[in-house]
């Protein structure tokens, strides 16, 4: 089976690519390397360097590969940036996505697995969040992902594309070779581990007055290997629709820091900071649908296991992919 992976040089896309290749799929990666890393490309995959915002380039790639399915990861994914520059998010995540969809229709690709997000729910009326709850994003990032889900739902009706929308909660952790490396880094776990390494002076805790037990935000951190496994299940021809990918357990910012202190043995200095714009207080998945319908069997549901894998990776690559090993 041939799979075209957009964003296969990025954090989640590279790790799913590795899983696909380990399981015998024929993979072509399409990536502009703007935020991804050449070092994260798997040498077993064919690589096409291109940008989704260029419709003709996307169409040429699609026509050349004629994949059985597209997995679409390429996107901007920073909540804060999306509030400062919403146009970037709509141009790339929605506009680029629509070019991809148009190419799929022209070439007749029957299946899409889309990297969506719990940010499409906004601040939920209750947690855990199930797939039928209203989608009202709090930030432009979530809105851009939701818009693309909606476009693809209409295209599915007209053109018969089978869409799987994988709404990730907080992807975290690493494999032996691949991990999280953004510059600037905005995500909690890599920032906590950079502080443990002494690369950052202190962790800034964004908001300590949320309506949660310790006042800091709660997220459902999911190991990247479990996320990758869900993508392979999503390729099954009978699977479509939205799936929340989370464990149904939340950890607060302070709990993440405590876990990292245990694992790294480092003090990890912290300082309280104001809330970050667009952050809902708690996002935790009701993950039953993924377990029952997708047949997902998560393996790394302990926060310590996630942080341990991220810690192993960052010690091996203290400067990210620029580190020569
Ligand atoms: N966070 C924080 N300090 C940081 C980075 C993140 O306190 O240096 C908080 C952030 O406000 C959110 C949680 O940690 O409540 C998870 O943020 P992250 O950026 O990792 O993921 P998001 O939930 O935004 O996708």
Q: Kindly calculate the radius of gyration of the chain based on its CA atoms and give it in whole angstroms.
A: 19
pLDDT for the residue 127: 93
Over residues 23-34, mean pLDDT:
98
CB 276 near ligand 1, within 6 Å = yes
Check whether domain 188-219+249-322 has CATH 3.40.50.720, yes or no: no
CB 255 near ligand 1, within 6 Å = no
pLDDT band at 236 (very low <50, low <70, confident <90, very high): very high
Q: Identify the CA nearest to 219 among candidates 128, 92, 108.
A: 128
CB 28 near ligand 1, within 6 Å = no
Over residues 222-246, mean pLDDT:
98
Over residues 259-271, mean pLDDT:
98
Check whether domain 2-169+222-245 has CATH 3.40.1280.10, yes or no: no
With a pLDDT cut of 90, the percent of the chain lying above it is 96
pLDDT in tens, 170-183: 999 999 999 999 98
The mean of the pLDDT values for the chain is: 97
pLDDT at position 155 over 80:
yes
pLDDT for the residue 324: 53
Over residues 217-231, mean pLDDT:
98
Q: Where are the domains of the chain?
A: 2-169+222-245, 188-219+249-322
Over residues 267-275, mean pLDDT:
97
Q: Are strands 111-117 and 162-168 parallel, antiparallel or unpaired?
A: parallel
- The answer to whether 2-169+222-245 and 188-219+249-322 have equal CATH topology is no
Q: Could you tell me the distance, in angstroms and rounded to a whole number, from the CA of residue 52 to the centre of ligand 1?
A: 28
φ/ψ region of 317 (left if φ > 0, alpha if ψ in -120 to 50, else beta) reads beta
Protein residue with its CA nearest to atom 1 in ligand 1: 188
3-state class (DSSP) for residue 236: coil
């Amino acid at each position: 089976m041939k799979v075209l992976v957009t964003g296969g040089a990025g954090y989640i896309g590279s790790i799913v690519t590795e899983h696909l290749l380990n399981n015998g799929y024929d993979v072509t990666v399409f990536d502009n390397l703007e935020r991804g890393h050449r070092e994260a490309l798997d040498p077993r995959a064919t690589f096409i360097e291109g940008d989704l915002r260029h419709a003709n380039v996307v169409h040429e790639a699609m026509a050349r590969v004629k994949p059985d399915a597209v997995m679409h990861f390429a996107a901007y994914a920073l909540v804060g940036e999306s509030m400062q520059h919403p146009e970037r998010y709509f141009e790339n995540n929605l506009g680029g996505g629509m070019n991809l969809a148009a190419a799929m229709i022209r070439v007749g690709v029957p299946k899409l697995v889309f990297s969506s997000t719990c940010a499409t729910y906004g601040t939920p009326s209750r947690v855990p969040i199930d797939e039928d709850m209203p989608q009202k994003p709090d930030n432009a990032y979530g809105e851009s992902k939701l818009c693309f889900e909606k476009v693809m739902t209409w295209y599915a009706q007209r053109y018969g594309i089978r869409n799987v929308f994988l709404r990730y909660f907080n992807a975290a952790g690493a494999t032996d070779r691949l991990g999280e490396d953004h510059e600037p880094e905005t995500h909690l776990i890599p920032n906590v581990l950079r502080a443990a390494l002494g690369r950052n002076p202190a962790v800034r805790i964004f908001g300590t007055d949320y309506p949660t037990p310790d006042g800091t935000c709660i997220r459902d951190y999911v190991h990247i290997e479990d996320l990758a496994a869900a993508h392979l299940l999503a390729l099954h021809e009978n699977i479509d629709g939205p799936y929340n990918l989370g464990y149904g357990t939340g950890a607060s910012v302070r709990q993440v820091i405590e876990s990292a202190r245990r694992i790294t043995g480092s003090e990890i200095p912290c300082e309280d900071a104001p809330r970050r714009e667009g952050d809902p207080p708690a996002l935790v998945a009701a993950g039953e649908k993924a377990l029952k319908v997708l047949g997902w069997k998560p393996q790394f549901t302990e926060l310590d296991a996630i942080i341990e894998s991220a810690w192993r990776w960052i010690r091996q690559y203290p400067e990210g992919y620029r580190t020569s090993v």
